[in-house]
Amino acid sequence: MPELPEVEIVKQSLDKKIRFKKIKRIIVRNRNLRSKIPKNFEIFLKNKNIKKISRFSKYIILNFYDDSFCIIHLGMSGTIHLVKNYKKKKFTNLSFYQSPILPSKHNHIEIQFQNFSIIYNDPRRFGFFELIKNKKKLSKRFSHLGPEPFSKLFNLNYVQHYLKSKKKYIKSFLLDQKFVSGIGNIYASEILFLCKINPQKKAQNLNQDECKKIIYFSKLVLKKAIRLGGSSIRDFKNVSGKNGLFQNEFKVYQREHLKCLKYDCQGKIKKKIISKRSTFFCNKCQN
């Protein structure tokens, strides 16, 4: 499942390709995604002019000049492909998951522009599209989610107040979108390793210094992942034929039984299941 950095890469790619463009036609081949595509979807989007593409957490947002919006969530297996009308391109995928070229099946939605189309492919159909009529409703739509790691709202006062008296593991909270939006399983393990915090430490037992580290390294890890193009867990490429490179920076994720990479640590990377997700950590420096 794409996490915040990978979704940000898709958002940046879309912004370069479809910003200021006018939607000519919409083809819906399957309305049965996680949320059913509304009946007015085609009419709502037709002839809309795109002002910009933004992102909140793991949601891509098409911003239109009439102050309406279309939210896209990629779910577990959703990908967005760019297909040019007048020539074939080897790589169509705007992300790093699933097929690097347009698959022949599960192409549920096609948004057509002047000389190209954006096609949404999703074998598992856990993704969705949502139409939002104005800014007030967009703000309300995300009101149940916590701040992003990059937000000024994700500060020491907020973190300490939120985690006070909480008995769940800190790893579980990093995955809890009500606490902080956008951190997924891969990056949660990497963040806690750099913080030298055991993922099974209860949130209420974190001291002030540890809370500061979580804030600092959450920003650091995600910014670096975005700069390196995200993480290509599998050997797939994006629309430019490039892999994400952050997987080369993994310190603990998918490194079970290997030696800790910290030069002064003799520990080994262990794996445990926390909140039904694989969690990787060093048995020495995160003890």
pLDDT band at residue 86, thresholds of 50, 70 and 90?
low
pLDDT above 90 covers what percent of the chain?
75
Interval 87-107: pLDDT, tens: 666 788 777 666 778 888 999
Shortest CA distance to 83 belongs to which of 120, 111, 117? Answer: 117
Spatial separation of the C-alpha atoms in residues 284 and 282, rounded to whole Å: 5
In our burial notation (b when 16+ CB lie closer than 10 A, e otherwise), range 161-193 reads: ebbeebeebbbbbbbbeebbbbbbbbbbbbbbb
Q: Is 2 a catalytic residue?
A: yes
DSSP-derived secondary structure for 24-91 = -EEEES--BSSSBPPTTHHHHHTTPBEEEEEEETTEEEEEETTS-EEEEE-TTT-EEEEEESSS--S-
All domains of the chain in start order, with CATH? 4-141 (3.20.190.10), 156-282 (1.10.8.50)
Is residue 58 annotated as part of the catalytic site, yes or no? yes
Extract the tokens encoding 232. Answer: 């290509």
Q: Which of 3, 8, 148, 190 is catalytic?
A: 3
- Catalytic residue from among 55, 58, 171, 213: 58
pLDDT of residue 98: 67
- Catalytic, out of 2, 100, 149, 199: 2
At 148-170, the pLDDT tens digits run 999 999 999 999 999 999 999 99
pTM check: above 0.95 = no
- Please name the amino acid found at residue 46: K
The catalytic residue among 21, 196, 224, 277 is 277
Element (H, E) at 213: helix 208-227
Q: State phi, psi for 71 to the nearest 5 degrees.
A: -90, 135
pLDDT digits 0-9 by tens, 15-49: 999 999 999 999 999 999 999 999 999 999 999 99
User: Helix, strand, coil: what percent of the chain each, to 5?
Assistant: 30, 25, 50
Q: Please list, in sequence order, all residues whose beta carbon lies within 8 angstroms of the beta carbon of residue 19, skipping any fewer than 6 positions away.
A: 50, 51, 52, 53
**Spatial distance between the Cα atoms of 245 and 232, rounded to a whole number of angstroms:** 7
Query: Three-class SS of residue 113?
Result: coil
